[in-house]
């Protein structure tokens, strides 16, 4: 009986000991396991260079982040948004082609809307969206002494951003694995850069672009001048629902390309910069042009973008160059959010069509 009573008293103690051991074991396992609240991997570190100095830390996620840089080529601080494919970190031996996507007037790469769904869903390429200024026009301005300060946008992008990206990310740094595209002001920029630097790009795309700056398309010239003089927002290319009417310090209409007025050939720099008239350097490139019709309303900038796109197409036809051309008119058959205007819903659908084509072109290059 004593032995039996002694065993009865020992059993609860044994159970308590086992419970304690189990609790300690569970605690140790929890300590060893990754915390559900552990910080997710951040953006990869990027080293300064090529005239670019980073300001502060990158913001965003490991695959969609923004860095801020300074350069003596353009006054102020500038954002660069970088979109990496989801497998970038997990495949350290893999290199990727790069798509440089240029935004429109009044926009900024810090705007999260510029990370269009089709771009973030791309699985086999890097997308880089560099700052082009509220009205930088992807050009080294003729007048560097305006209230806007230094405005060497082409030098910033071509001589600094591209080599910076190639040095810091696992890119395929060849012409055939590098593309340039853009919307509105950025559509002009894409054609302008591809025409002036054909050794750099194997693909070019313009979405609702300012594709014609000739004397035959003075409305487009007037829109460019309006961004310089803050006379309104006829060529806003913002991916936000609304467009800012302030493009920065007011400067002369002559600041970028000299006088826009066709008197005694004084506007020769505008003619020289007109993309539609200089298509021959695009020989061998993949070319894509997208436009709507603004529902036939001259008050909608897309109405004029359509005729500019048509002029560019006509020059390509005269040269016999192949291209991918989409005129979605009023947008009724172009996705579910395009109304044919100069706006986000149409550009998002343009990219739904273009990105798979671009990735396939990269893969076959």
The full DSSP string for 277-337 is G--GGGTTSEEEEEE--GGG-TTSHHHHHHHHHHHHHHHHHHHT---EEEE-TTSTTS-SS
Q: In which domain, by residue range, is 5 found? A: 1-38
Residue 239 pLDDT more than 90? no
Average pLDDT over residues 79-85: 98
* Residue 234 pLDDT level (bands cut at 50, 70, 90): low
Q: What is the predicted pLDDT for the residue at 231?
A: 81
**pLDDT classification of 8: cutoffs 50, 70, 90:** very low
pLDDT for 88 = 96
Asked if 90 and 227 sit in the same domain, the reply is yes
74 contact partners, CB below 8 Å, separation of at least 6: 133, 136, 149, 150, 151, 152, 153, 156
**Orientation of helix 218-229 relative to helix 301-319, angle to 10°:** 130
Q: Residue with structure tokens 């302030």?
A: 246
Task: Report whether 338 contacts 328 (CB < 8 A).
Answer: yes
Q: Mean pLDDT score of the chain, rounded to an integer?
A: 89
Q: What would the two tokens of residue 72 be?
A: 């003596």
* Position 63 in a domain: yes
In terms of residues, how long is the chain? 365
Residue 121: inside a domain, yes or no?
yes
Q: How far apart are CA 120 and CA 143, in angstroms?
A: 37
Cα–Cα distance for residue pair 256/174, rounded to 1 Å: 30
Assess whether 233 and 314 both reside in one domain.
yes
Task: Specify the number of domains making up the chain.
Answer: 2
**What's the mean pLDDT in 334-351?**
96
- Express each pLDDT in 259-303 by its tens digit: 999 999 999 999 999 999 999 999 999 999 999 999 999 989 999
* For range 103-127, the mean pLDDT: 96
223 and 119 in a common domain: yes
Torsion angle defined by CA atoms of residues 182, 185, 187 and 188, in that order, rounded to the nearest 10 degrees: -140
Query: Can you give the pLDDT at residue 18?
Result: 43
Residues 29 and 81 in one domain: no
Both 232 and 300 in one domain: the answer is yes
Looking at residue 114, the DSSP 8-state letter turns out to be: G
Report the candidate in 212, 181, 206 with the shortest Cα–Cα distance to residue 307: 212
Q: Do 67 and 192 lie in a common domain?
A: yes
Q: What is the mean pLDDT of residues 39-66?
A: 93
In the prediction, which pLDDT does 81 show? Answer: 98
Q: Which two tokens stand for residue 259?
A: 């006088």
Shared domain for 258 and 319, answered yes or no, is yes
Among 184, 116, 182, 180, which Cα is nearest to 337's?
116
Vertex 320: Cα angle to 318 and 325 (nearest 5): 90
Q: Judge if 93 and 163 occupy the same domain.
A: yes
Exposed/middle/buried for 271, CB within 10 Å: 0-12, 13-18, 19+? middle
Q: With beta carbons less than 8 A apart as the criterion, state whether 97 and 189 touch.
A: no
Is 192 within the bounds of a domain?
yes
Residue 19 has pLDDT above 90, yes or no: no
Cα separation values, 235 from 11, 117, 300, 341, Å: 84, 24, 9, 12
CATH at 233: 3.40.50.1820
The larger pLDDT score, comparing residue 127 to residue 247, is at 127
Residue 15 has a pLDDT of: 39
List the one residue out of 187, 194, 191 whose CA is nearest residue 275. 191
Q: 106 and 33 share a domain?
A: no
Q: Residue 284's beta-bridge partner residues?
A: none
Residue % of the chain over a pLDDT of 90 = 80
In this structure, of 92-101, 167-176, 211-220, 348-357, the range with the lowest mean pLDDT score is 211-220
For residue 31, the model assigns a pLDDT of 33
pLDDT value of residue 242: 64
The answer on 30 and 140 residing in a single domain is: no
Residue 186 lies in a domain: yes
DSSP E strands: which ranges in 50-97?
53-54, 59-60, 64-71, 74-83
The rounded distance, in Å, linking the Cα atoms of 232 and 225 is 10
Q: What mean pLDDT do residues 101-105 have?
A: 96
45 found inside a domain: no
**3-state SS, residue 67:** strand
Do 94 and 206 belong together in one domain? yes
| Window from 4-8, 125-129, 211-215, 351-355 with minimum mean pLDDT | 4-8
What single string gives the DSSP state of each residue in 120-168? HT-SS-EEEEE--TTT-TTSB-S---STT--BBHHHIIIIIIHHHHHHH
Same domain, 80 and 215: yes
Mean pLDDT to the nearest integer, 169-197 = 98
293 contacts 329 by C-beta, under 8 angstroms: yes
Tokens of 202: 């194997």
Asked whether the predicted pLDDT for residue 146 surpasses 60, the reply is yes
Lowest mean pLDDT of 53-62, 166-175, 245-254, name the range: 245-254
Confidence of residue 233 (pLDDT cuts 50, 70, 90): low
């Amino acid at each position: 009986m004593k032995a039996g009573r002694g065993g009865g008293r020992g059993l609860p103690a044994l159970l308590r000991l086992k419970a304690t051991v189990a609790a300690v074991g569970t605690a140790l396992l929890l300590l060893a396991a990754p915390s559900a609240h552990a910080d997710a991997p951040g953006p990869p570190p990027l080293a300064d260079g090529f005239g670019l100095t980073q300001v502060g830390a990158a913001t965003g996620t490991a695959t969609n982040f923004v860095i801020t840089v300074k350069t003596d080529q353009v006054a102020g601080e500038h954002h660069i948004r970088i979109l990496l494919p989801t497998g970038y970190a997990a495949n350290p031996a893999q290199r990727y082609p790069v798509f440089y996507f240029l935004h429109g007037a009044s926009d900024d790469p810090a705007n999260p809307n510029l990370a269009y769904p089709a771009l973030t869903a791309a699985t086999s390429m890097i997308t880089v969206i560099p700052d082009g200024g509220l009205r930088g026009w992807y050009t080294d301005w003729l007048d560097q002494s305006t209230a806007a300060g230094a405005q060497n946008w082409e030098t910033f992008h071509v001589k600094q951003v591209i080599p910076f990206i190639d040095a810091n990310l696992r890119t395929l740094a060849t012409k055939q694995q590098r593309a340039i595209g853009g919307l509105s002001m950025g559509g002009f920029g894409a054609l302008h850069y591809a025409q002036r630097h054909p050794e750099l790009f194997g693909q070019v795309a313009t979405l609702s672009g300012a594709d014609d700056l000739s004397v035959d398309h003075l409305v487009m010239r007037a829109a460019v001048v309006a961004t310089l003089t803050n006379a309104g927002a006829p060529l806003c290319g913002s991916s936000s629902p609304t467009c800012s009417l302030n493009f920065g310090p007011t400067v002369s209409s002559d600041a970028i390309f000299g006088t826009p007025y066709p008197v005694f050939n004084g506007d020769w720099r505008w003619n020289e910069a007109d993309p539609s008239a200089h298509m021959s350097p695009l020989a061998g490139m993949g070319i894509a042009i997208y436009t709507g019709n603004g529902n036939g309303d001259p008050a909608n900038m897309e109405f004029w973008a359509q005729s500019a796109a048509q002029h560019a197409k006509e020059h390509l036809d005269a040269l016999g160059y192949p291209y991918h051309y989409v005129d979605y008119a009023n947008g009724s058959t172009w996705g579910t959010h395009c109304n044919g205007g100069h706006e986000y819903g149409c550009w998002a659908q343009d990219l739904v069509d273009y990105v798979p084509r671009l990735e396939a072109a990269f893969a076959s290059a």
